[in-house]
Structure 1
Amino acid sequence: MLELRPTCENCNKPLPPHATDAMICSFECTFCSDCVSLLSNTCPNCGGGFVPRPIRPVTNWKGDNYLGEYPAATIVKLRPVDWEAHRHLLLRLQGIPPEKR
């Protein structure tokens, strides 16, 4: 089950469970879509790409698989991007699509 982190790891923008601009990498690093654009779709923590974070249902449609039983995380993971280091990472990954990294 995904950890629904409450904010963007870079800018600290609130990303509640229903946020449609929340993006995650395969390690669940969470950024807002604005920061993902600035990051050139490259996670500064692992080098992977981002996808939209799914919305966890708020209604118990089936088997208690909903936000009430599995709430969003409340611990903020604020890790502002080191833009110089990210620039070097982008240079290393230049031309390699996320699915081939």
Structure 2
Amino acid sequence: MALEMRDRCERCETAALTADGPARICSYECTFCVPCAEQMNGTCPNCGGDLVTRPTRRTAN
């Protein structure tokens, strides 16, 4: 199962998140922009899990 690369912050809904840009996710793939994640002290408001750096997805050659 592939990671869903969401393109909007779930908190502010205005931050555009590119697949290769910075974002924070929890183990349930809740997705937030870096400023919102920092304001939430790195804790997901949905599950209480840690928000970590979302991995980047490499494009196929």
Larger Rg: 1
Give the aligned partner of residue 69 of structure 1.
none
User: Quick one: which amino acid aligns to residue 39 of structure 2?
Assistant: L
Give the aligned partner of residue 17 of structure 1.
19
Runs (5+) with no aligned partner, structure 2: none
Give the aligned partner of residue 32 of structure 1.
33
1:1-101 correspondence to structure 2 within 5 Å: 1-12=2-13, 13-20=15-22, 22-58=23-59, 60-61=60-61
Please give the TM-score of this superposition, normalised by the length of structure 1: 0.56
Name segments (4+ residues, structure 1) moved above 6 Å: none
Mapped partners of 1:56, 1:18: distance in 2: 6
The number of aligned residues is: 59
Mapped partners of 1:41, 1:49: distance in 2: 6
SS at match of 2:38: helix
Q: Percent same amino acid among aligned pairs?
A: 47
Judging by fraction of residues, say which structure has more helix.
1
RMSD: 0.9
Query: Cα distance, 1:46 vs. partner?
Result: 0.2
SS at match of 2:32: strand
Query: Cα distance, 1:18 vs. partner?
Result: 1.1
Runs (5+) with no aligned partner, structure 1: 62-101
Query: Cα distance, 1:42 vs. partner?
Result: 0.9
Please give the TM-score of this superposition, normalised by the length of structure 2: 0.89
